[in-house]
Amino acid sequence: MAHDHHELAAAIDRYGADLAAWNDQTLANEVRRAALADRGFRVRLDTAAALDAAFTSLRDAMDAEMAASGAVARVEANVLAALPRRINSWRWGVIAASVVVAAALGALADVTILAPAGSEPFEVVTLDPLVFGPATTGAP
Alpha-carbon distance values, 1 to 4, 26, 28, 30, 44 (Å): 10, 9, 12, 9, 21
Provide the residue range defining the domain that includes 24: 5-82
Residue 17 falls inside a structural domain: yes
User: pLDDT tens, 10-63?
Assistant: 999 889 888 988 899 999 999 999 999 989 899 999 999 999 999 999 999 999
Domain count, the chain: 1
Q: What pLDDT, on the 0 to 100 scale, is given for residue 52?
A: 92
Residue 20 falls inside a structural domain: yes
Is residue 46 within 8 Å of 10, Cβ to Cβ? no
Residue 128 falls inside a structural domain: no
- In this prediction the pTM is 0.49
DSSP 122: -
Residue 102 falls inside a structural domain: no
Query: Residue 124 pLDDT > 80, yes or no?
Result: no
Q: What pLDDT, on the 0 to 100 scale, is given for residue 89?
A: 74
Is residue 63 within 8 Å of 56, Cβ to Cβ? no
